[in-house]
Amino acid sequence: MGKIHFEPAFSILHLVKFSRVETLLHKLKCKIQPEKGVFLGELYGKRLKRVIEHIDIIIPIPIHINKLRKRGYNQAAQFAFGLSLGLDILLDENILKRDILSISYTQKSRTERYNNVKGVFSVSITRNLQEKHILLVDDVLTTGASICEAAQLLIYKGTKVSIATIGRE
């Protein structure tokens, strides 16, 4: 990624086109199967417990309220919930908010993806984040645009950020 200073980053699976991993992530994201995210998160959280440094809060990358209403759940939040269970660490879905509905990233270049997420997130000021270590969670890491944009906001608030995703391209 190279755009932010983050603590360790973790991904469970390597995402390759037309693979079982792609099918699994598609089912989680588009086929109304949130339990797959929770299951993977809890399983992975138990494994990460042995290697991860002290984490104060788990925060999922938020989706816009319109997408949340349409889909019924945030796939990153489902994975984050499972991680919370497996790691026994507090999950907070209210710290980050996605204020702007951006168009799909799937056909965008790396630069277009970064431009597409500029300014889409905001951080709630209801909680003191100074000197907290946050595990920022998303479903898939491709270019890292969303993660970088969100992490920059959290780092600006005085946090350390580690990253966990289900899949990585």
- Indicate whether 53 belongs to any domain: yes
Nearest by Cα to 79 from 6, 121, 141, 122: 141
Q: Which domain, by its residues, includes 124?
A: 9-168
- Indicate whether 83 belongs to any domain: yes
- Any idea what DSSP says for residue 126? S
Residue-level pLDDT at 15: 65
Q: CATH number for the domain including 122? A: 3.40.50
Nearest by Cα to 164 from 145, 139, 132: 139
- Indicate whether 18 belongs to any domain: yes
Q: Would you call 29 helix, strand, or coil by DSSP?
A: helix
- Indicate whether 4 belongs to any domain: no
Number of domains into which the chain is organized:
1
Residue-level pLDDT at 42: 94
Averages of pLDDT over each 10 residues, the chain, 169 residues: 72 73 74 85 90 91 93 92 96 94 63 73 84 93 88 94 88
- Indicate whether 21 belongs to any domain: yes
- Indicate whether 1 belongs to any domain: no
